Structure 1
């Protein structure tokens, strides 16, 4: 009897076997953040770069998107937000009105707060020191108590998003005061100590205005807690955040490989990442006037025209930016016209090691992104190889449920020697169904998403499901937002029962040890430094890096 092996990535983590249940929570993904600052004499089109960056991060959120830009010569910000996809929200007409020297953008999938326009990011607020804007990826585990703290200070909140809470907390002075003027670094440290996870935050701020409307101070910044663009990463659960570099036109070299159209600004950018591990990535931007040129690693003497910051490095390819490095857990990074500077690394309470979200490898991140010095695609292939060793089976073909599981299926095929063939084709015009805000929408999306390639499995009567991830059994309060065990099918049915439910002959998951081995093998420990990230497996093992606040 012929067999067919199907490798899946997440492994039917959503339960909701009752088709009539409309869950308001469900499995929720972290969002995507992108920031850009143009050099003083740069011709960089900041809004276009922000739109390109957010489009590259569209897989991290499809509910809404927004951006805020600012100019050096004035204290005002320009803001545009909307529900839907990035390409629908930011038309050429809208982008033409968003001209600026720096900006931050956000694409959202709600983990806290409802899917509504009022919760769209970035958030902005006016302070005595000028306006600040915040874009946030992740979820505050103690948002309830922090929200009460803000309200008790007489500050009203206009949304249900924890991102607005972060914005308001950064407006307050630290307990020790600010005798020498506003200290954004101290404010950010105060916030990070109050909420150790889980977030990657970009903060942009402008100069204060006088009553006559003229500006005071020296200029705009995008920051995490300081002038410019700041990126912060939480102390406990790490989310991705990465900086990149842009070169000036005269410094680029001719090459026919691809179009390098990016450049990065030299204003203050501060990036902050929680101590645990949401990732942020920084890159240099190199402007080449849309000609076919590429910058190589050896071209280190070129002067960058700017920098960009992103939740994932995949956003750099579309704009031609050069990867610089990942922001470390707990690190506060400032980017100015002088370059990238680490302001501080806030230690995790009790000196425990950080914990990078392992589900980024399993599903969330794009396969062409670099996380912890390794490509996500390669990790997923190793998961498939591990799975072939742990759960071998006799079969005629190995296939996949596209697309996150495809590298795992190829790895399984390679290790087992069973040929790979596609049995499903994906409609490219249907977005990610896994991050739809309700079960009903996910089910309808799947129905539109796949078509069967029946000739590739004609005569095959036996189906074995091999899942390139351990079963998701426990709630996650740190960016995925799985509030209850009842939402997860692995808590309701054993693998044998799942096989019956799916009409398969067997269901076997990758072990947690197998996943950890696959993710650790390719980590660039030298690039990560002494702050090497361990991984958070709370949704798989029930072992949380920090006890979450119950709500």
Structure 2
């Protein structure tokens, strides 16, 4: 779920503005990871020197304006990362990305989103080659695999020093799933998405406003690009950026100061397996995937849920914020009026991405206050986007009933999660999943709710696929392994 970001200035554009863009973009991706944040920059002149600021905590905790300006004032390219850990030592400072490795072509920086299914076999392979690993993160492992590929490749093709596209082709073909990667050498950035397209990645072009960079004009009198940007989600693109497209599954895109070009597309492309949980929970609602806005999908899920799991009630409400669109869809389709019942403290982070149960439960009581006048004496339909462990919903139901709610009916805008994830989401072993081996009545009783109903798998699938234009996306597929047990690759084969 990590957030990754990269940006490079166009030819002729002087350095000095990247630090501000990077800070804003990483802040826009804060919902994807709150444990640590990091930036690595290059001046484009020295293949053995990167400037770097990394630390534990939120973006605002790690960076300040003076540090950013002084560190990255000469940078023409920059790489960033927000960490949400599923593998590795959560508290170790050496787990903070981007990772930087010394390779035969100079330093290489890597930012990774995802989790390798075959991490055990790849780790053993690297260790047997005599390469030491300082963490147990698969992101460091990817960095070493790339470094190994560079060392193994006979550079007889007269390629430029910073060009490692051939080596990255080798890495893509031997590392299956799951990763979106940004790899930076001293003068370019590569954007890479695994062959299944499991994790998101998009590209945009930075264009100046009317009064910015007045001399950056092309022959037609239009503002020329002054940079190129790549990020996990389109919400991280600045307002003056143009969203170009998503990186395609199995594609390596090279971004230099002269533009963007595809360097490689794997010939072995399986059915895509884009993580459907990006639509359900992870992504920001204004982000674009597969040609549609996440908000539209969530609203559609709520409307489908109202058809599948109607209940007589006085009001519909939400567990803010990722379920808000679904709750409005439920209210619209059911004809039951919408009312806010919970106030969300925006200074408390997302509970799902807290690293342990105690912190998740603690954050719930800090995060929400109850709007008593909207709740008292009411039968409430409370719409949530998903329920994984279920250790926070009971707290919310108790809060509502303590403030006078007559009934609380839980409606979940995604299906029950009954299988673990091995590809980058902190969905634990099945013993920790509340929907495993429990009836809806059992779950309702555990929450203290009057009823619980989920959206069907088919309902979620149709809600997502309805807005995808077949002409632009002829091959569509989504990973729903946590819901169905059907994995893109067999995780038990490795």
TM-score of the superposed pair, with normalisation by structure 2: 0.88
Which residue in the other structure is 2:157 paired with? 180
- How far does residue 550 in structure 1 lie from its aligned partner after superposition? 6.7
Residues 119/304 of structure 1: CA separation in 2 closer, same or farther (3 Å cut):
same
List alignment gaps of at least 5 residues for structure 1: 1-29, 207-219, 221-227, 255-286, 290-298
Residue 468 of structure 2 is aligned to residue 548 of structure 1: no
Q: How does 1:31-430 map to 2 (within 5 A)?
A: 31-43=2-14, 44-75=16-47, 76-99=49-72, 100-115=75-90, 116-173=92-149, 177-180=154-157, 184-206=164-186, 220=187, 228-248=188-208, 252-253=209-210, 287=212, 301-317=222-238, 319-348=239-268, 351-430=269-348
Which residue in the other structure is 2:217 paired with? none
- For the Cα contact (< 8 Å) 1:237–1:536, is it kept in 2? no
Report which of the two has the higher share of strand: 1
Q: Tell me, in whole angstroms, the C-alpha distance in 2 between the residues paired with 1:355 and 1:479.
A: 13
- For the Cα contact (< 8 Å) 2:202–2:232, is it kept in 1? yes
Q: Tell me, in whole angstroms, the C-alpha distance in 1 between the residues paired with 2:444 and 2:149.
A: 57
The CA deviation string for residues 489-519 of structure 1, in whole angstroms up to 9 with x for no partner, is 1114211111111111110000000000000
SS of residue in 2 equivalent to 1:513: helix
The CA deviation string for residues 75-120 of structure 1, in whole angstroms up to 9 with x for no partner, is 3101111000001101112102222111100000002112121111
Moved beyond 4 Å, runs of 4+: none
- For the Cα contact (< 8 Å) 2:301–2:460, is it kept in 1? yes
Q: Tell me, in whole angstroms, the C-alpha distance in 2 between the residues paired with 1:51 and 1:455.
A: 40
The CA deviation string for residues 29-85 of structure 1, in whole angstroms up to 9 with x for no partner, is x10000010123224511221111110000000000001001023331011110000
RMSD: 1.9
- For the Cα contact (< 8 Å) 2:5–2:81, is it kept in 1? yes
Which residue in the other structure is 1:466 paired with? 411
- For the Cα contact (< 8 Å) 2:34–2:84, is it kept in 1? yes
- For the Cα contact (< 8 Å) 2:195–2:270, is it kept in 1? no
- For the Cα contact (< 8 Å) 2:2–2:113, is it kept in 1? yes
- For the Cα contact (< 8 Å) 2:207–2:240, is it kept in 1? no
SS of residue in 2 equivalent to 1:514: helix
SS of residue in 2 equivalent to 1:36: strand
The CA deviation string for residues 270-289 of structure 1, in whole angstroms up to 9 with x for no partner, is xxxxxxxxxxxxxxxxx569
Quick check: 457-466 or 326-335, which moved more? 457-466
The CA deviation string for residues 194-253 of structure 1, in whole angstroms up to 9 with x for no partner, is 1111110000012xxxxxxxxxxxxx1xxxxxxx110000112521111111124xxx44
- How far does residue 185 in structure 1 lie from its aligned partner after superposition? 2.1
Which residue in the other structure is 2:425 paired with? 480
- How far does residue 483 in structure 1 lie from its aligned partner after superposition? 4.1
The CA deviation string for residues 513-549 of structure 1, in whole angstroms up to 9 with x for no partner, is 0000000011133333x4x331100000000010115
- How far does residue 172 in structure 1 lie from its aligned partner after superposition? 2.2
SS of residue in 2 equivalent to 1:466: strand
Which residue in the other structure is 1:8 paired with? none
Which residue in the other structure is 1:21 paired with? none
The CA deviation string for residues 454-479 of structure 1, in whole angstroms up to 9 with x for no partner, is 11021121221110010111010001
The CA deviation string for residues 161-212 of structure 1, in whole angstroms up to 9 with x for no partner, is 1111111111124767433356622221211121111110000012xxxxxx
Which residue in the other structure is 1:265 paired with? none
Aligned residues: 453
Q: Tell me, in whole angstroms, the C-alpha distance in 2 between the residues paired with 1:452 and 1:497.
A: 26
List alignment gaps of at least 5 residues for structure 2: 215-219, 379-405
- For the Cα contact (< 8 Å) 1:142–1:549, is it kept in 2? no
Which residue in the other structure is 1:3 paired with? none
TM-score of the superposed pair, with normalisation by structure 1: 0.79
- For the Cα contact (< 8 Å) 2:36–2:56, is it kept in 1? yes
